[in-house]
Structure formats: structure tokens, C-alpha cells
Structure 1
């Protein structure tokens, strides 16, 4: 309730859903602490001091909660033992969970739901082990009781629902909702401690199951990069129907299709001469787009937008038609950057598939500099260095694409789905990735929402028909109720955004901050 009251007092709209985790059962409490710390430290000194403070506070608080929740009729360890043990668990949780908390910071930087889902899985797996660790001596041996899995999983559900309710409640009532969530946390502490403390038959009693689970969790933070991809779009050769089939005659545009991060193109031409692929390498001497490799997509968005301007001019000159842009993920960001930085010119229609909704919500400085999120940045560099060892195409947390998003975060956070004068626009949004967007307003252009993961819409026949209808001038819009519901359900698990006014790199901009207002496209 104290944290929620503070968030309401400073109008921190986007982070209100995190407050119920302050008194959650392990490891959700430590996950809460680490996300705040990894975002809100501006030097190594501040990070180290903050880490020591939150670890100590978490250990003592958890010892007190464990003592209060201890079941009647069962001998309770001495207070000193409980404090020492819970301080050890707090330190262990910091080591194990910190890589996943760093991934959540990366998720907020590039707004990819894959990161969010990946960072939650180890929390659910580790919860019954860490909940037992603060209660019994030989906690690392054997499997936790099935009831402990149940109570810790129920805490995940409670925290998710509490974050959704707080995000749906007016400011004046959210402190009360946080209080109810705290009551639920207390009951769950009581049940979890009772199950862990009472003697009973344990499966695999001689097997060090907990250390194995912890080792796999830490390793998973590295291999998650390969499994989920750091890419903001589909890898490899992307060939949706708009490239494989001729456009109907009722479409008046010439079309440029912009693929996503880590995509490639070998020069194979589209089926319709009115359609071109955008090349991240630019044009040849004859004004034709050049083939490109995945590395080319790692360049800064401003550089890609300048190349797009040249290709728009060349295609308009060749066809004499107005230009429509169809972008996927990073391609959508290139198209929107072009509209912001350069005159739209002959571009009069833009279709955005899986754009990065409110990207740039966190920050970390370049190597060799201190600033907000410095420790998170180095943690991501270590994780990605390990993940890149077997890979031919390296994804770097400091590649030009990512740094351009971080440097221009006020624009990408506030205006990516805002209208542009003289340009018809629509965003095709996958509902599963609604967790990318913090609760609140996210678009002021028409949206077509359909069940899919990030990057999974274009290529579906129904969606392709809607694209053609939009290009033919027909109204196309399909918002879905579950999108806003999924936004709210994801609120508890996002990293808190770094406020625009805090970071000197951003504070000079005139952009409003959706993290505080809950609205986008606010006047400059």
C-alpha cells in the first residue's frame, strides 16, 4: 500500500501494477526489487549500494513474514537462524534472477513480448524451491511437495490479477486494491510456510534437485537468446503474399515492403513490378534495391529511413504512382521514422505489422559511460556475448539499431502509432503481444487486431485480404476487447519505465511521457 501510494502521488501510471509484489512469496518479491534497481540506478556506486540495501531489506522482511506465517504446533527455528537463512536466500535469488530481470529491461527497451514471456517461466519454476529455502535446512534436496508448487503458482496468478485490477482502477482506489493484494500475499505466505515446515514424505530425497534447477535457470538466461531470438521480426527470407502475388488492379499504389530485424533478401524480385522490397543496403546504380544480409538490419533507424527515402523517390519516378509502405516490426519502425524525419512526399499510405509499441521505456549507456541502467547494460552484454558464441549473425545490445531506439526513446515511446497528416495509416497488432504495451492508450490510428505472436500476422490469408482492401481505399479496422485485457494482465511483469524527465539524454525533449499520463500522441 505504501509503494502504491507513492506511485499514485508521482503519477507513475505505468508502474502501478508492480506494487502487490512487494510482499509476494519468493522469488516474485526479489524479481520486483531487481527490476526497480536495474532501471533506477545511475552509477556503479548507486547500483552496489542499492543491491546491498535491497538484499538486506528483503532478507529481514522475508524472515519476519516466515516467522508470522509459521504453523502452530510445529517447532519454529530461532529468529537469528531465520534472518541468516533468508538473507542467504535473498542473495541467492539475486544471483539467479538478476539475468532474467536484465532481460525484462531489454524487453522494455525494444518492446518485445517474447522477452516478457521468457523471463516469467523461470520465476514459476523456481518459486517452490525458494519458498522452501527460507524455511527448512536441507531445502536443496528432493522435490518440493506438490502443494508448494500449487501455492506458489497461485501467487503468480494473484499477482497477475492484482496488477490487472490496479491498472483498471482509478487512482483514488488503487491503494485499497494493493491492500487486498497484500492480504492475499499474507494468506499465501501462511500456506506456503506451513507446507514447507511440516514434515512429510519427499520425492527424490537424496537428489540435489534445487541446485540443478538453479543451474538450468541461469543457463536458460543465455540460451533464451537463441530460443526466442533477439530479433524484432522474422529471421531469414520473408515472403508474404503481397510479394508472391500480383496486386489487384483496384490498388492505385506502388508498394515497398520492409522486412524486420535479422531478415535477409537474396535479390529475388516480387511477382508484381509495382512492388519492391526495401533494401537495408540501398540502391544500385540503376536505382534497383540491393540484396542484403541480416547484418544490414542492425544499422540505425535514421540511416534506414534515409535509404527508404531514396527508394521511395526512385520507385515513384519509375511508376508515377503514389507509394504505400508495408513494414513488419523493425520495418514498421523504419517507415514511421521516415514519416517523422523526412517529408512524406509521394508516400500516402502506411501499413505497420507488429510495430514495437512504446519502445524505449528503459535505458543503459554505451560501454565506457555511466548513466541510468549501467549495470543492466553490462549484464545484457555478458549474456549476449555468451549467446553469440555459436551464432554466425551476432545480436548486440549496443548495435546501432538498438542504440537509435534508446537515444530517440521519447519519440518511439509516445508517437509510433500516431497519425501523420496526408497519410492513411493502419497498424496490424497481434493480440498475444498486447503485453508489450503498458496499460493505457497505445494507438490513435486505426488498428486491426488478431490472435498471433509478434511478427506472425502478415502471410495469413485473411489478414492479407485486409491489407489489399486497405490499399484499395476501403476502411479496415478491427480492435478486439481482449487486447486491452492482455495489456492489463501483463502490467505486473513489465520493468518500470525510466521516466523521461529523469534521463538527461531525454529530458530536453518536448515529448509527453505515457508512463505518467497513460496516453500517447500528446501535444509537444
Structure 2
């Protein structure tokens, strides 16, 4: 290895080390998995930068100033990395040409990657794994196409070589493992992990550049493959809301109690709260002790009103009031204790109700696919001129417009339900998964929930971790048996080592959380921040 390559490894190791030192010194444990990406090969370094910028800015001038400074810094960094990694014996372009090419590359990569970075911030607001995966998969797809750009003159035509695709995949694996290791090791050992990851990034710079420069003539050399792949990737934001409908109705959590009468060992009446985008046609469940919660409330006869997907977008305060009325009516009608069984948004409604309007008759709460760690980012309402995530909010509104035009169930990033998560974020980050006196609680967590929030001590209540996707039960019989046992009074709990592993492997791909203490919009309720404590259910000040 020549002197130039040694200097490359020093520099790629230095930048992640510096970021790790800052994060560890601040105690910002939730963001430690991001440090190894600081010196990564594009587009992952750009993805790293954009996530920080989309979360931590308060105005358009602040964002644009930071944006162009980072663009220029990345241009210089890329130019230097390409020169240091350039193979010996090959003619090297001039520095001005490489800088100009590097600037164009940074602009192109930023334009292409920015939608996925802003969607990752949205994922930290709603804590939905499929939103996070939708923000990552397109970027992984375009990475080998974009990684030719700094070295190959006609980079937008033809397919990347198999070798380049392989190195790009290894790049993804290395960053994922580095993020998991950075979070897993104690305190200052994170700095060492970041330094080692930076050296690995340097080796990947060398290999990826060589794979691009020394590749044989590409297949489909006359076809503009890269723009086509980018266009396909841009279609993902339109498809994101449709992912909710991908789970068959037979696997939905609410069907466990609605399809047949309750077993005799269950003595309570039950309110079943379905999730976001659900619908209720007014058909009563088989058991008169079971009611489907209506996002439109009760009719004159006291029965839950039918509702459609758009009705689930109401604010959390409205949902809590409707649930309070329905619980009161069900308790009076049956004379029984009441159990709440909520899935996704329904779980949020039920848990928020227990915090704000608890009825003494409610003695049990079951949450399926709860949104763990929601509200980790923020953006102000449309009329605001300043606030954390200001540009992010407008970017999300622009991205959501095609979804709205295609008839999606929601009303955009400012719909009342989403604003409830933003405005009451400290509660959902710190106290949502905490015990309520006098109420037995359990959360059924599919494995995908592990990817919805940074690793850490995320719950103070029993959990049952199971194979499944958000809103879908892949082992319905097992879940139903445990649900019935819990409602009948038996303790239910199961944790799996693979759940923790998934948490750690996704740690580096989360957007950094916004510090609770930094946001004036949350000043009325000060909560300890799990992003720094690494724990939930810590009493407020």
C-alpha cells in the first residue's frame, strides 16, 4: 500500500472518530450508530449529513447556509479521497477537473438522496418500520450506480459491474455492522469502533474506485440506466402509504377478537381499537361484550358509527374523547370491567386515554404493534416562520402531494393525528411504554418494531416479541392463545435475542432524535430524553 492510500485511511478514520468523540462527550447515545458513516463512500456520507441537517435547523437561511457549506466541504473531501485512492500507473485528471466533477457529483447525489433522508426523519416521527425501510431500500438500489460518478465520464449509461455491485453491498453491510457495534460497546469504546469503521471505509474507497475505473465495458452501454433507476426510486414515496394495505385482513390484530365469541374465562367487556387507515362498516362483532372503537363516535342508539380510512386522521385529543364516551357507555351497558385492545394508532389512542381520561372500570390494556419511540423529530405547522425542522416540514408536504392526489387515506404531514405526535412527543418518547397504576398491560411486538426506534431500554411493561410485520400476525394462533391468557388474568411475556439484534443492526440508519430540551414547542412539559438517558419511564422534572 502506497503513501497516498495510507493518508486516505488516516483521513477516513479521523472524521468518524471526531464525530464519535462529540456524541459520547454529549451522552447522545441514540445517535452513536451514525458516526461510522461520516467518512463513508457516497451516497452514504451524504445520507448521513442530510439527516442531521433535516433534524437540526430552525430557519430557511440557517438550513441553506449549512447546506451549501456541507456541499462545498463534501466536494473537497470527495476530490481528496478520489486522488488518494487513485490507482498507481493510471493517468490522473487535474485537480480543477476533479473538483468541478466532485461538485456536480455532490449536487446530483444530494438531489437523489434527499427524499430518502427526509422520509427517514418522517419515520422517526411516526415510528413505523415500513417508512424507514422505504427510505433505505431505494438508496441501496441506486448506490452502485452513483458510485461510478466521480470516476467514469459517461456514468449515467450502462450497468455497473458485478464487482462494483458486490463492493457496494459490502459497503452497506460494513456500515450496518459498524452502527450496531458503535451502539453496543460501552461509552468511549464507541470512539474506537468509529475509528476502525473509518479505516474500513477507506479500504472500501480504494476498492470501489478501482472497481469503477478498471471495469470492463459496461453492458447496455448506450442505455441511460441510471436516470431510469433514479426515477423508479423516486416513485417510492407515492407507494409508501399503500404498504399499510399489504397485510391481509385475516392477519390484522383486531380480527383475533372480532371473528368469534370471547372464551368464558374472559370476564371483561372489550373495546377493540383498529389502526390508521382502517374502516368499520357497522357490523357488530359476534360477542355482545366486544365493541369496535369508532373514530366517528357513537350514534343516537349508543352504537359505534361506521367510519372510513380518512376518519382515522383525527387528533389524539378527539380520539381520546370518543374512547372515553364509548368506554363509559360499554361499562354501563354490560356492568363489567373493560379491557382495551389496540393496534398501531389504536394502541396510541388507548394508552393516551389511560394517561388523560382513565375510567376506573378499565383494568387491562393490550397493544399490538404500538408505535414505540414516536415523536423523535419535529417540524412546525405551515404558518410558522421558524422552528426545528422547518424545511423538513415543507419537503414532506411536497413529497406527500402526489400521494394526496392519488387518493391516499391521509391528509399529509400536518393532519391532526400526525400533529398530535409532534406536539406531545415527550410523552410518546418517554412514557408511552410505561405502567399505569391499576391497569394490567402487555405489548405484542412484531420483529419489525425493533427497527422503529434506536436501541435501548424501550419499555417498562411486559412485551411479547413475535414473528410478524407491523399490523400483521404471522402466528395468529399463538398470539390469540396468549392474548386470551392475558385477558383471563395470566402474566404474558416473551423476549427474543433476535429482537435486540435487529434493534442494533438498524441503529445506524435512524435519523438522529431532536433533543427534547432544545425545542421550545415542548417547553411546557419537560421529560427526560431517552436519546440521552438510554431509558424510558424516567420521572420528569
Range class of TM-score, shorter chain: over 0.9
Partner of 1:504: 520
SS in 2 for 1:326: strand
Counterpart Cα distance in 2 of 1:236 and 1:437: 24
Partner of 2:243: 228
Partner of 1:147: 163
Matches within 5 A, 1:67-78: 67-78=83-94
Superposed CA deviations along residues 14-49 of structure 1, whole A, max 9, x for unmatched, are 000001111111111110011111111100111111
Partner of 1:303: 318
Which of 268, 278, 296 aligns to 1:253? It is: 268
Counterpart Cα distance in 2 of 1:511 and 1:321: 35
Partner of 2:109: 93
Partner of 2:281: 266
Counterpart Cα distance in 1 of 2:245 and 2:148: 34
Contact 2:274–2:345, Cα closer than 8 Å, also in 1:
yes
Contact 1:111–1:360, Cα closer than 8 Å, also in 2:
yes
Counterpart Cα distance in 2 of 1:292 and 1:238: 18
State the Cα RMSD in Å.
Answer: 1.9
> Is the alpha carbon distance of 1:233 and 1:333 closer, same or farther for their aligned partners in structure 2, counting shifts above 3 Å?
farther
Contact 1:233–1:259, Cα closer than 8 Å, also in 2:
no
Superposed CA deviations along residues 41-97 of structure 1, whole A, max 9, x for unmatched, are 100111111111111111110111111111112111111211111111111111111
Matches within 5 A, 1:47-58: 47-58=63-74
Which of 233, 257, 275 aligns to 1:217? It is: 233
Contact 1:59–1:87, Cα closer than 8 Å, also in 2:
yes
Which of 361, 368, 372 aligns to 2:376? It is: 361
> Is the alpha carbon distance of 1:455 and 1:236 closer, same or farther for their aligned partners in structure 2, counting shifts above 3 Å?
closer
Partner of 2:144: 128
Deviation at 1:249, TM superposition (A): 1.1
Residue 240 (str. 1) matches residue 218 (str. 2)? no
Residue 102 (str. 1) matches residue 118 (str. 2)? yes
Partner of 1:201: 217
Matches within 5 A, 1:171-190: 171-190=187-206
Matches within 5 A, 1:476-515: 476-515=492-531
Superposed CA deviations along residues 322-376 of structure 1, whole A, max 9, x for unmatched, are 0000000000000000000113321000000000001000011111212111111
Counterpart Cα distance in 2 of 1:500 and 1:472: 39
* Structure 1 residue ranges, 4+ long, deviating more than 3 angstroms after superposition: 229-239, 392-395
Partner of 1:312: 327
Counterpart Cα distance in 1 of 2:84 and 2:496: 45
Counterpart Cα distance in 2 of 1:82 and 1:54: 18
Counterpart Cα distance in 1 of 2:250 and 2:65: 41
Counterpart Cα distance in 1 of 2:364 and 2:326: 15
Contact 2:23–2:32, Cα closer than 8 Å, also in 1:
yes
Residue 349 (str. 1) matches residue 356 (str. 2)? no
Counterpart Cα distance in 1 of 2:525 and 2:115: 31
Contact 1:233–1:262, Cα closer than 8 Å, also in 2:
no
Partner of 1:418: 434
SS in 1 for 2:441: strand
Counterpart Cα distance in 2 of 1:420 and 1:275: 23
Partner of 1:336: 351
Deviation at 1:128, TM superposition (A): 1.2
Residue 455 (str. 1) matches residue 471 (str. 2)? yes
Partner of 1:466: 482
Partner of 1:158: 174
Partner of 1:119: 135
Contact 2:252–2:473, Cα closer than 8 Å, also in 1:
no
Contact 1:235–1:261, Cα closer than 8 Å, also in 2:
no
Residue 275 (str. 1) matches residue 290 (str. 2)? yes
Contact 2:266–2:484, Cα closer than 8 Å, also in 1:
yes
**Mean alpha-carbon deviation: is it higher for 404-413 or for 53-62?**
53-62
> Is the alpha carbon distance of 1:231 and 1:55 closer, same or farther for their aligned partners in structure 2, counting shifts above 3 Å?
farther
Superposed CA deviations along residues 103-162 of structure 1, whole A, max 9, x for unmatched, are 111100000000111111122111112111011211112111111111111111000000
Contact 2:468–2:474, Cα closer than 8 Å, also in 1:
no
Which of 423, 444, 453 aligns to 1:428? It is: 444
**Mean alpha-carbon deviation: is it higher for 225-234 or for 292-301?**
225-234
Contact 2:253–2:343, Cα closer than 8 Å, also in 1:
no
SS in 1 for 2:301: coil
Residue 386 (str. 1) matches residue 402 (str. 2)? yes
**Mean alpha-carbon deviation: is it higher for 415-424 or for 199-208?**
199-208
Counterpart Cα distance in 1 of 2:148 and 2:42: 9
Structure 1, unmatched stretches of 5+, are none
Contact 2:254–2:342, Cα closer than 8 Å, also in 1:
no
Counterpart Cα distance in 2 of 1:413 and 1:470: 26
Counterpart Cα distance in 2 of 1:230 and 1:6: 42
Counterpart Cα distance in 1 of 2:301 and 2:244: 35
Aligned length: 523
Contact 2:373–2:428, Cα closer than 8 Å, also in 1:
yes
**Mean alpha-carbon deviation: is it higher for 80-89 or for 107-116?**
80-89
Deviation at 1:458, TM superposition (A): 8.4
Contact 1:283–1:290, Cα closer than 8 Å, also in 2:
yes
Contact 1:350–1:424, Cα closer than 8 Å, also in 2:
yes
